[in-house]
């Protein structure tokens, strides 16, 4: 005979498994789509190169192909800027820092901004504590389709060090927000500046502006650092093309 408690426990485990599997499938699909898009892009590029080679042989003028530009996405921009700022925040004057998971000391080239909870969990996408300096090795271990056991080990260490870095219960709080996201409780509310905020266009712009200032401030202290893109110029172009109604 199965007791009711056992039955409920099994049911809960099954539900949790299903949710976990759904998230894994979503991530794997996303990376597959991304990879296929990259392969197709390269294929097109080489085909065009070949055609131009032939045109050259035929003494014809080369054709110039315009690149399609993706529309600007403020959330994506904010997330990328925050990631770069996190790496600056967590590294010393020469760009070296400690990995949140394995505590290895690594150089700017060898580390990344590692999310504890996936970027798919939008509520935590712009949360300062959810992103920390991580060595490329640990970062890759937590990618989808990695070794599950190794991933759990890396994440357990991440959780432990989160509490050491930001105070007790940080890991529990992040976990609660993540769980609330799946129950849709926080669907429209994100963690911005470690507060729960509704991410309106205005709030997001305020967030980006504060991050731009932080980026420029940190630039002065770290002589090795060159921004990966001209953050302010890109943002100002967007603002001038999309004025906000007062
Ligand atoms: Zn590491």
- C-alpha 148 to ligand 1 mean position (Å): 16
Do both 110 and 193 map to the same domain?
yes
- C-alpha 196 to ligand 1 mean position (Å): 30
Question: pLDDT digit string (tens) for 104-145?
Answer: 999 999 999 999 999 888 889 999 999 999 999 999 998 877
Of the three residues 68, 89, 117, the one that is the final residue of a domain is: 68
In a domain, 59, yes or no: yes
- C-alpha 141 to ligand 1 mean position (Å): 9
Do both 92 and 120 map to the same domain?
yes
As beta bridge partners, residue 191 has: 196
- C-alpha 8 to ligand 1 mean position (Å): 38
- C-alpha 86 to ligand 1 mean position (Å): 16
In a domain, 246, yes or no: no
DSSP readout, the chain? ---HHHHHHHHHHHHHHHHHHHHHHHHHHHHHHHHHHHHHHHHHHHHHHHHHHHHHHTTPPPPPPPPPPPPP-HHHHHHHHHHHHHHHHTB-TTS-EE-TTT--EE-GGGEEEEESS-TTSGGGTT-GGGEEEEEHHHHHHTSTTS-HHHHHHHHHHHHHHHHHHH-TTHHHHHHHHHHHHHTTTTTT-EEETTEEE---HHHHHHHHHHHHHHHHHHHHH-TT---SS-HHHHHHHHHHHSPPP-
In a domain, 213, yes or no: yes
Q: How many domains does the chain have?
A: 2
- C-alpha 59 to ligand 1 mean position (Å): 55
Q: How many CA atoms lie within 13 A of 155 on its CB side?
A: 18
- C-alpha 134 to ligand 1 mean position (Å): 6
Q: Is the pTM of this model over 0.95?
A: no
Select the more confidently predicted residue: 56 or 193. 56
Do both 93 and 62 map to the same domain?
no
In whole angstroms, what is the distance from residue 169 CA to residue 41 CA? Answer: 45
- C-alpha 225 to ligand 1 mean position (Å): 22
- C-alpha 83 to ligand 1 mean position (Å): 17
In a domain, 173, yes or no: yes
- C-alpha 138 to ligand 1 mean position (Å): 4
Question: pLDDT digit string (tens) for 131-190?
Answer: 999 999 999 998 877 788 899 999 999 999 999 999 999 999 999 988 888 887 666 778
- C-alpha 114 to ligand 1 mean position (Å): 10
In whole angstroms, what is the distance from residue 14 CA to residue 162 CA? Answer: 29
Instruction: Check whether 24 has a pLDDT greater than 90.
Output: no
Axis-axis angle for helices 74-89, 231-241 (nearest 10): 160
Do both 116 and 205 map to the same domain?
yes
Select the more confidently predicted residue: 197 or 37. 37
Do both 53 and 102 map to the same domain?
no
1 — pLDDT class (breaks 50, 70, 90): low
- C-alpha 133 to ligand 1 mean position (Å): 9
- C-alpha 99 to ligand 1 mean position (Å): 5
Residue 101, both tokens = 């998971």
pLDDT of residue 199: 82
Instruction: Report the chain's mean pLDDT, rounded to a whole number.
Output: 89
Do both 78 and 64 map to the same domain?
no
Q: Residue 24 is part of which domain span?
A: 1-68
In a domain, 121, yes or no: yes
Do both 95 and 16 map to the same domain?
no
Residue 106: phi, psi to the nearest 5?
A: -130, 160
Do both 63 and 103 map to the same domain?
no
In a domain, 31, yes or no: yes
Do both 165 and 98 map to the same domain?
yes
Do both 16 and 103 map to the same domain?
no
13 — pLDDT class (breaks 50, 70, 90): confident
Do both 103 and 153 map to the same domain?
yes
Of the three residues 49, 68, 87, the one that is the final residue of a domain is: 68
In a domain, 87, yes or no: yes
Of the three residues 38, 68, 98, the one that is the final residue of a domain is: 68
- C-alpha 103 to ligand 1 mean position (Å): 6
pLDDT of residue 246: 67
94 — pLDDT class (breaks 50, 70, 90): very high
In a domain, 184, yes or no: yes
- C-alpha 139 to ligand 1 mean position (Å): 7
Do both 117 and 205 map to the same domain?
yes
């Amino acid at each position: 005979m199965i007791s009711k408690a056992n039955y409920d426990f099994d049911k809960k485990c099954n539900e949790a498994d299903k949710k976990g599997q759904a998230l894994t499938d979503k991530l794997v699909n996303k990376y597959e789509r991304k990879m296929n898009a990259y392969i197709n892009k390269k294929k097109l590029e080489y085909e065009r190169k070949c055609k131009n080679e032939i045109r050259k042989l035929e003494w014809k003028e080369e054709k110039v192909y315009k690149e399609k530009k993706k529309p600007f996405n403020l959330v994506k921009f904010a997330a990328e800027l925050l990631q770069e700022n996190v790496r600056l925040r967590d590294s010393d004057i020469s760009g070296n820092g400690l990995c949140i998971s394995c505590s290895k000391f690594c150089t700017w080239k060898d580390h990344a901004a590692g999310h504890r909870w996936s970027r798919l969990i939008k509520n935590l996408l712009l949360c300062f504590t959810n992103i920390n300096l991580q060595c490329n090795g640990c970062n890759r271990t937590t990618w989808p389709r990695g070794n599950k056991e190794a991933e759990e080990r890396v994440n357990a260490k991440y959780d432990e060090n989160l509490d050491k870095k930001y105070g007790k219960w940080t890991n529990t709080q992040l976990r609660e927000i993540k769980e609330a996201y799946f129950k849709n409780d926080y669907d429209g509310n994100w963690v911005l500046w470690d507060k729960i905020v509704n991410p309106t266009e205005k709030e997001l712009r305020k967030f980006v502006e504060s991050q731009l200032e932080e980026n420029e401030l940190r630039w002065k202290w770290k002589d090795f650092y060159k921004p990966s893109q001209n953050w302010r110029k890109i943002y100002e172009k967007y603002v001038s093309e999309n004025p906000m109604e007062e």
